[in-house]
Structure 1
Amino acid sequence: MASTETRPAPLPTGLPGLFDPLFVADPYPTLAALRRTSPVHFDPANGLWLVSRYADVRSVLLDPATYLPDNAQHSVTRLPVSVLRTLARAGFSLPPALANNRGADHADLRRLVMRFFNAERVAAAVPMVERTASEMLDALRPRYAVGDSCDLAAEYARLLPCRVMMRLLGIEGISADTLAAWSDASLELFYGRPPAERQLQLAEQVGAFHQWLTAQVSAATMTDGLIGGLRRYRRPDGTPLDAATAVAVCFFVFIAGQSTTGQLISTALLRAVEDPQVWARVAADDGFAEAWVEEILRREPPVTTWRRVTARETELSGVRLPAGAQLLLMLMGTGSDPEVFEDPGRLCPHRENIRHHLSFGAGRHRCLGASLARTEAAVALRAAARALPDATLAEPGSPPTMLGLLSFRAPLDVVVRRRSGGDRAPGARPA
């Protein structure tokens, strides 16, 4: 191996850390600085190597032999003994299944899950998604019509994907609110930095979620859908899939299908309703909602980072990485890489390379639910713009509260009201 630097150049001083509220509110200056000055940068505060350029992130994702997925679902912060005991009492276990699986059965499990989220099934589900969105918006409309505000993030975007998932997979006997709360708790526990007391509360919810999934996987009545498919699955040697791995598959699919899709919908709604011209085009122009969602995925995706670990010493962008180096792939930063996307700060729904972003990953671990997420987000956005054509932000110019986990970012509130005649909303006009 040629001689290389062993440490990257330092970041410019004064930039916020990954969990700093300033970074959560506006990560773009930090991401741009990383790309320019230190594209493979060691962050001692988190023990992670930050990889920020599009070409580097793509090369990592496409080389699963050198960059392993083993750490993809590790907790960001060390869990205290009290939390570990709470999880242990619930029987919590997440053996390698999908995102963190480099084993021989990964491809088979992936194919099994993909049967339930392929393009044909997603297309067939569109009328159901439209009905679900319409039902939820109808419930909001009476309050909205009399001038009250509605939170499209909390009351619509967060729960719509959960209800869709339940209908797709035949889940009954539990509320969407409960499943969404469990999913959100899982993300916060494993990807956030909650204080110890909060960690314990989250662990109790995560344990309850895992116990419910275990009961579903074990139920003799679950013979259809994803869970039925997992029960029928046989490994290459003819043995059935163990319950712990089946639960791990469901754990990942439920969270990805609920929380991250809801986060995408919330961001797409926020950025569209900021500009009345965009809101009107979403409602009126065929295909515009889909193009808008794609630009949101490029510029402001819900999954902002993902992790890999080096299998051996290697070199990336002139930086030598030791074996076992923990990498954080800055997916959000790659969507704004000017080497790939012209004028990346501008939302331009009809740019030529609109689908070249890496927000769903790449290679053998590319997101299984990409088609469903795109479709749900576009349907949800279009339905809201048509149902609430005169919507505007209740407090224009006031920044929303943002979810700020290591790998997930989205507005927690998108509060809208009816627009009066004199209202004007800020926002760039799309090309």
Structure 2
Amino acid sequence: MAETLTDEGNSDAAGADVDPNVDPDVELSDFDLFDPAVQQCPHAYYAKMQQEAPVFEAAMPGSELYLITRYDDVVEVVRDTDTFSSEFDTSGYISTELAERMAELYRSEGGYPRVRTMLTADPPAHTRFRRLISKAFTPKVIADLEPTIRDITAGLIDEMLTESAHGSADGPGLDFVEAFAVPLPVTVIAKALNVPDDRLADFKRWSDASIAGIGTNISIDERLEAEREVIEYQKYFAHQLEIRKTSPQDDLLTKLLNARIDRDEDGIDDAEVSEAPLTMAEMLSIIQQLLVAGNETTTKMLTEMMRLLGEHPAEWEALRADPERARSVVEETLRLSTPTQGMFRVVRHDTTVAGVDIPAGSRVVVMYSAANRDPEMFDEPQSFCPERDGATSHLAFGRGIHFCVGAALSRLEGKVALEELARRLSSFELDAGNTFEYHPSFMLRGLKRLDVHLTAA
């Protein structure tokens, strides 16, 4: 693959005791979370951290920030919800100026209050949210989307082949991100939320605004502009939810509105878990998280999947010969790409991880992307091996009580997309002019574009 950490000769040249996964020229003193060069390919630094500083203190304003990079340590942290709280702000550090200006923006624009729900809540509140969303976003709801996913996929492939047929063989090819990887998950999650086709552009814009400040170093004015679009999103879905109070529909919004806790049926013994139905602000927060989880991360996974297959034509041919390999290709892509690179936690009390003392009040980031390339967990972790043992042990969807609620949908979209692409394309090639530039975020990692040349079967 293109993101190789070391040249094949480094291990022999440096001696048998040198870890072949670690580039000896990488210096952790050069690491900067917001450095565009680091964000383009951070894996060399994470491998170095695993070897020399598995709990690495990184520079970030506000408080100490520790990156947890080894697989076993990441799992330990995400399972210990008493020590490591999820009650963080997804944008990271919020300055006093930003907090005050955001509060004023929400007052003046009539936005709903920002509340902690699934991603940023701890038990017992998280238990309530998880139970209620599971009543709306059921396995059956996801399974019933497969024909829709297949139809959308087929239509997008038709459009790509038509565009390719009219293009020049010597041209730059078509952008797979814009033509396929964005519209597929956007349209699918929009269908699940019953968003009409004429609002899809708004839907994507609201999704982009929701992640604008995650893992990036944008200005306060840029953050506020993104929040203005989030408020626009809130108003649209609040109106849709109000409509469903008197005119229920067979959709996810109505199911969220009507979801209720049943202690006996749900097996909830904790008296602190509230039985209250979801408030409007809570529903809007949950829908926003579904929007991002069902859209942005899948886009990045689909794009990386196409890149990996383009760089490994033998795997593409194996997939065409045996479409059942689609599931394993999806899992290996998730392991290597890990679109959600990590997640914040806040330390409740003084603790120790991997022999490193971490004081209360500090923030840690569990680096799923690093854990997914931990050589102690995965053989030849930098290699693309869809048939590897233990492929589903990756942490691309997290682990524990915060395991991604949209994981099944993302996996289904990846599987269906691969099956249809393998069936409808005889071949494809990555354009030689690709620069493989990633979005500037250390949290959500994905290619800006991927130019490809397609041939119909």
TM-score range, shorter chain: 0.7 to 0.9
Task: Report the identity percentage.
Answer: 25
Name the CA distance, whole Å, in 2 between partners of 1:194 and 1:74.
Answer: 10
> Where does residue 264 of structure 1 map in the other structure?
301
Q: Could you tell me whether the CA contact under 8 Å between 1:403 and 1:411 is conserved in 2?
A: yes
2:284 and 2:103 map into 1 onto residues whose CA distance is 18
Between the aligned partners of 2:275 and 2:51, the Cα distance in structure 1 is 52
* Contact persistence 2:136–2:259 (CA under 8 A): no
What whole-Å deviation, never above 9, does each CA across 1:16-50 have from its counterpart, x for those lacking one?
31221221221111001111111111112354111
Asked if 1:145 is matched to 2:168, the reply is no
Determine which of 8, 11, 20 is the counterpart of 2:35: 20
259-268 or 283-292, which moves further after superposition?
283-292
Alpha-carbon displacement from aligned partner over 1:201-227 (angstroms, at most 9, x marks no partner): 323222212222222222233544332
After superposing the two structures, state which structure 1 stretch, 232-241 or 44-53, moved more. 232-241
For residue 48 of structure 1, what is the aligned residue in structure 2?
Answer: 65
Do 1:77 and 1:190's aligned partners in 2 also have CA atoms closer than 8 Å? Answer: no
Alignment match, 2:289: 252
In 2, distance between residues paired with 1:224 and 1:296? 34
Equivalent residues of 2:190, 2:203 under 8 A apart: no
Q: CA deviation at 1:298?
A: 1.1
1:139 partner SS: helix
Shift of 1:324: 1.3
Q: 1:333 Cα deviation (Å)? A: 0.2
Question: In the alignment, what sits opposite 2:239?
Answer: 215
Aligned to 2:113: 93
Change (3 A) 1:278 1:87: farther
2:88 paired with 1:64: no
1:36 alignment partner in structure 2:
51
Q: Helix, strand or coil for the counterpart of 2:30?
A: coil
Shift of 1:84: 4.6
Look up the match of 2:216.
192
Question: Which deviations, in whole Å up to 9, do the C-alpha atoms of 1:327-358 show, x marking residues without a partner?
Answer: 11111000110111111011111111111111
**Cα distance between partner residues in 1 of 2:56 and 2:198:** 45
Q: Specify the alignment match of 2:7 in structure 1.
A: none
Q: Distance in 2 between matches of 1:232 and 1:120?
A: 17
Deviations 1:255-296 (A, max 9, x none): 111111111111111211233333333333122222111111
In 1, the alpha carbon distance for the partners of 2:179 and 2:187 equals: 12
Change (3 A) 1:345 1:258: same
Q: Distance in 2 between matches of 1:14 and 1:33?
A: 11
Secondary structure of 2:392 counterpart: coil
Q: How many Å apart are 1:242 and its aligned residue?
A: 1.6
Q: Is the 8 A contact 2:308 2:384 kept in 1?
A: no
SS of structure 2 residue aligned to 1:404: coil
- Which of 411, 414, 425 aligns to 2:447? It is 411
Match of residue 338, structure 2, among 298, 301, 305: 301
Q: How many residues align?
A: 409
**How far is the alpha carbon of 1:237 from its aligned partner?**
6.0
Unaligned runs of 5+ in 1: 1-10, 420-431
CA distance in 2, matches of 1:349, 1:116: 33
SS in 1 for 2:329: helix
Corresponding residue number in structure 1 for 2:380: 343
Question: 2:404 corresponds to which residue?
Answer: 367
Change (3 A) 1:267 1:222: farther
Q: Is the 8 A contact 2:70 2:371 kept in 1?
A: yes
Say yes or no: does 1:133 pair with 2:153.
yes
- Aligned match of 1:355: 392
SS state at 1:402 partner:
coil
Aligned AA (1:407): M
In 1, the alpha carbon distance for the partners of 2:28 and 2:127 equals 44
Render the CA deviation track for 1:307-337: whole Å, top value 9, x for unaligned.
1111111111111111111011111000110
SS of the aligned residue for 1:409 comes to coil
* CA-based RMSD: 2.4
Select between 210-219 and 25-34 the one with higher mean Cα deviation: 210-219
Residues 136/76 of structure 1: CA separation in 2 closer, same or farther (3 Å cut): farther
CA distance in 2, matches of 1:37, 1:103: 34
Q: Report the AA paired with residue 253 of structure 2.
A: I
Instruction: Report if aligned partners of 1:310, 1:324 keep a CA contact under 8 Å in 2.
Output: yes
* Deviation sequence 1:77-128 (CA, Å, 0-9, x none): 5463545533442414321210111142422321332345444443332222
TM-score (norm 1): 0.88
Q: Quote the offset at 1:199 in angstroms.
A: 2.9
1: distance between equivalents of 2:106 and 2:182? 25
Tell whether the 8 Å contact from 1:169 to 1:226 is kept in structure 2 after alignment.
yes
Is the Cα–Cα contact under 8 Å of residues 72 and 99 in structure 1 kept in the other structure? no
Rounded to whole Å, the distance in 2 between the matches of 1:52 and 1:20 is: 19
SS at match of 1:247: helix
Report what 1:123 is aligned to: 143
* Equivalent position SS for 2:439: strand
Instruction: Kindly indicate whether the alpha-carbon contact (under 8 Å) linking 1:283 and 1:383 is maintained by their aligned counterparts in 2.
Output: no
In the alignment, which residue of structure 2 is the partner of 1:3?
none
Q: Which amino acid aligns with 2:444?
A: F
Q: Relative to 1, partners in 2 of residues 1:15 and 1:387: Cα closer, same or farther, differing over 3 Å?
A: farther
Which among 312, 315, 326 is matched to residue 278 of structure 1?
A: 315
What is aligned with 1:399? 435
Identify unmatched segments of 5+ residues in structure 2: 1-25, 262-272
- CA shift, 1:399, in A, is 2.5
For residues 238 and 58 of structure 1, the distance between their equivalents in structure 2, rounded to whole angstroms, comes to 30
Query: Whole-Å Cα distance in 2 between the matches of residues 359 and 201 of structure 1?
Result: 30
TM-score by length of 2: 0.83
- 2:47 counterpart letter in structure 1: A
CA pair 265-400 structure 1, distance change in 2 beyond 3 A: same
- Separation of aligned partners in 1, 2:328 and 2:213: 33
